[in-house]
Amino acid sequence: MLVITRKLNDSIIIELENEETIEIKVTEIGSQVRLGITAPKGCSIWRNELYQTILENKQAASAATPMTSIKDFASSIKKQSE
């Protein structure tokens, strides 16, 4: 992990492989630090705790519906339409 010290209104730039950039700027310092993020359109930005919940939900959904069940379901629909 890279740790960088920044002051109010200072920013860092992250350059992506496609030469697009993400800028993270310190916009407020108080009891909390507020960050502003400028990123390319289509780039998803998540708070870590929310992202972890999304990953857990995706894993639970994929575990709840095994591929064999989907194949069996597709086969039963095919048989019904014949």
Instruction: Evaluate whether residue 82 is within a structural domain.
Output: no
Does residue 21 surpass a pLDDT of 70? Answer: yes
- The pTM of the full predicted model, rounded to 2 decimals, is 0.66
Number of domains in the chain: 2
* 37-55: pLDDT as tens digits: 999 998 999 999 999 998 9
Residues 52 and 33 placed together within one structural domain of the fold: no
Q: How far apart are CA 75 and CA 59, in angstroms?
A: 25
DSSP string, 49-65: HHHHHHHHHHHHHHHHS
Q: Could you tell me the residue range of the domain that residue 17 belongs to?
A: 1-43
Helix (H, G, I), strand (E, B) or coil at 10: coil
Residues 38 and 56 in one domain: no
